[in-house]
Amino acid sequence: MTNETLTARVADVFQATFGGAAPIVVQAPGRVNLIGEHTDYNDGLVLPCAIDYRTVIAARPRADRTLRVVAADYADAVDEYALDAPIERLDAPMWANYVRGVVRALRERGLALQGFDVVIGGDVPQGAGLSSSASLSVAVCRLFATLPGFDLSPVEMALVAQRAENDFVGCKCGNMDQISSACGVEGHALLIDCRSLDVQPVPVPDNAAIMIFNSHVTRGLVDSAYNTRREQCEAAARHFGVKALRDVDLAMLDAQADGLDPVALQRARHVVSENARVQDAAVALQAGDLARMGELMAASHASMRDDFEITVPAIDRLVEIVKDVIGADGGVRMTGGGFGGCVVALVPHALVERVQAAVARDYRSPDGKQSTVYVCRAAAGAGTLRADTGAQAAA
């Protein structure tokens, strides 16, 4: 679905539900991470880009202090509450909790909220590791940022969205997904320093397509596996006497490994080596050196498979199928939190169709599904598509 089609669909639901055109339309994209996995919550480096799949919100201010939210992708389900009342986490649906979490986090910052009628829709594949939830949270921040007096920077919006996920939804994620969604730059990946929050755009070379392959492998207990990895990294940081694994290099890792639990050492080796790979990858990408990107992405995948142990056989197979076609001319690796989800590849345009054909022929998920393939563009971050500030609040 193109962006225009998605926006029109959300606007149509708004018209049908609330009557009239929505005076405010905002969007926030999902993301794909080119390299730098499980480094963000270790204060490390990542190299993602925002993608041209997104959450779109159509809205109209209300005269009262009520938020009425309609989910176009969930049979127009509704969540409605007073902005001044205590905001509770629901057992279900989860989409409502992402909105509630952002409202609460904005309120905790002392920002003066206003009531809205809202319709939300999106085309970021869900549960695939492409940050559909971060795109929703950031889009909600972006909506409130259309109000006068909201002078949040894109990074601040990302931190509000992360806080909503950490403290309200209950996912102890790092800050990569929200910063990617809030700060994306068209045609560029972002070198993000997750400690200093410095964001440097790095051009994606014109000769490469960004391909994403959904393995259609989803695993229960992903959150608990994620949290366990996080705890293992924190235990390793304590062993080395540092604030976070960002402060450890490979020499220190080898010299001071004695006494560290062997599994925690493996986890630390992934994080420390991955940070170094991200730095090298930013240089290679800037230089348009796809062969070097290929080496670094292959090393990243091996490290996720062997040291961090977050890949699964179907994902490893998908990576192999793509690698067999692109050889040394591009790169491929698992992307996102792991245990399924998606594979990302940088592929010379001339090889895109051959890669698609090979994946269609040779890949099946354990339950027999073909991979869904997306050829993406690196997209701009969250933004306002329409803001008719003269619009009257509905009675």
Which stretches of the chain bind ligand GAF, using CB under 6 A?
37-38, 40-41, 173-174, 176-177, 336-337
**Structural element, H or E, at residue 30:** strand 24-35
* Beta carbon nearer to ligand GAF, 37 or 52: 37
Give catalytic status of residue 177 as yes or no: yes
**Structural element, H or E, at residue 139:** helix 132-144
* Beta carbon nearer to ligand GAF, 173 or 322: 173
Q: Name the residue with the smallest CB distance to ligand GAF.
A: 173
Environment class of 302 (CB within 10 Å of its CB; exposed 0-12, middle 13-18, buried 19+): middle
For residue 349, say whether it is annotated as part of any ligand binding site.
no
- How far apart CA 209 and CA 34 sit, in angstroms, is 12
* Beta carbon nearer to ligand GAF, 24 or 248: 248
For residue 365, say whether it is annotated as part of any ligand binding site.
no
* Beta carbon nearer to ligand GAF, 174 or 294: 174
For residue 268 the two structure tokens come to 């630390």
Pairing mode of beta strands 188-193, 45-61: antiparallel
* Beta carbon nearer to ligand GAF, 243 or 354: 243
Cis bond upstream, residue 313 (ω within 30):
no
Contact 202, 190 (CB under 8 A): yes
* Beta carbon nearer to ligand GAF, 176 or 299: 176
- Structure-token match 């989800």, residue found: 341
- How far apart CA 289 and CA 329 sit, in angstroms, is 9
Catalytic residue among 64, 177, 307, 362: 177
Those residues with Cβ within 8 angstroms of residue 218's Cβ, 6 or more apart along the chain or in another chain: 127, 340, 341
- How far apart CA 155 and CA 178 sit, in angstroms, is 8
Q: How far is the CB of 303 from ligand GAF (least distance, A)?
A: 12
- How far apart CA 387 and CA 337 sit, in angstroms, is 35
> One-letter amino acid identity for 69?
V
Whole-number Cα distances in Å, 349 to 244, 251, 265, 363 = 39, 39, 39, 21
Q: How far is the CB of 41 from ligand GAF (least distance, A)?
A: 6
For residue 130, say whether it is annotated as part of any ligand binding site.
yes
Those residues with Cβ within 8 angstroms of residue 216's Cβ, 6 or more apart along the chain or in another chain: 365, 367, 369, 370, 371, 372
Q: Residue 283: name the closest of 202, 209, 197, 190 by CA.
A: 202
Q: Which residues are catalytic?
A: 177
**Which residues contribute to the annotated binding site?**
37-40, 127-133, 165, 226
**Which residues contribute to the annotated binding site for Mg(2+)?**
133, 165
**Which residues contribute to the annotated binding site for ATP?**
127-133
